Amino acid sequence: MAVNNTQLSNNSKSTSNYIKYLVFMVLEIPSVILYVAILIYFIRHCSVIKMLHNVGVFTLFVISFIQASCDLPIVIHFYRLGYVSPSTAGFCLWWTFFDFTLNTISELLMATISIQRHIFVFHSNMLRVRKKRLLFHDVPIIFSVAYPILLYIGLILIYRCDRDYWDFSTLWCAGNACYAMESKFWSAYDWIVNNGVPVFIILLANITLILRVLCQKRRLHQPISWQKQRRMTLQLFYISSLYFISWLPNVIIGVIKRISKIFAMIEFQSNYLYDFIYLVCVFIPYIILTMIPELKNWIRRIIFRTNKYYCASMNSCEWNGFIF
């Protein structure tokens, strides 16, 4: 009976892995194509990157592009095989460092961008002063990138223990770096400070920005143009929802797991919740499209030209109601 249960469990896991493999493949391909299109746009329009309000967005784009093109393929390869390959402690150590670093940078950058949007909307003149621009714009972005790299070099690559905790049958080899298994302080600190706090800041900053805009318009007795506010509201809703859905369940269960070591929670997070984290890098390019209107118009023009050339080569064209 025990053998049958084990076999059923293995078959169920294999089916689940194959479904995840297909889902991630379907999501990644159009996402990477869009990443490449956005990258070409940034290369051709360097002036867009130099705008202060786009520096953080471009940095987030680069980090997410690295994750979608380098980290996510490893995940897809894992789900295709059903185990980590190569199955070595060295690879697990590198993968955990690489993945944890990129995820934390992404969260901190998004939290920084969310706070800086308040400055751009309500205190834009402040950034004209060099010292204030350095303090409130440049330093937070640099910190968001440098801090996770230095932290995880110490916690993952330098922190050592007497035994290996790696599990080659789970994502990130179960993420069982020594600090996560042997130090309750650093384990809880990592999930609360590096994951929980940024998610809370993203959610709070974006909600309060919408409320501040509406309150200011009422205070100045200006009519609220919902058409104008629609794009900003949708942007902030998408951003908040993406990070909220991807990270909040992981943060809550991750903290409980590290305190209580409940096996059911460990298995549930490992089998399902970790996958939600990759939704961020998959959908970030779509959100960036809404944040830079010029980018969306440029892509529309490219699509229009491509269809125009195709129609000319075929000597006919049916638009089927599509408007570009």
Alpha-carbon gap, residue 239 to 75, rounded angstroms: 23
Q: CATH says 13-306 is which class?
A: mainly alpha
Q: Model's pTM, two decimal places?
A: 0.84
pLDDT band at 16; cut points 50, 70, 90: confident
Examine the pLDDT at 139 and tell me if it is beyond 90: yes
Domain boundaries, the chain: 13-306
pLDDT 10s digits, 291-311: 777 777 887 787 776 655 555
Query: Element (H or E) spanning 59, and its range?
Result: helix 52-66
Alpha-carbon gap, residue 248 to 105, rounded angstroms: 16
DSSP string, 77-101: HHHHHTS-SS--HHHHHHHHHHHHH
pLDDT band at 319; cut points 50, 70, 90: very low
> Can you give the pLDDT at residue 21?
93
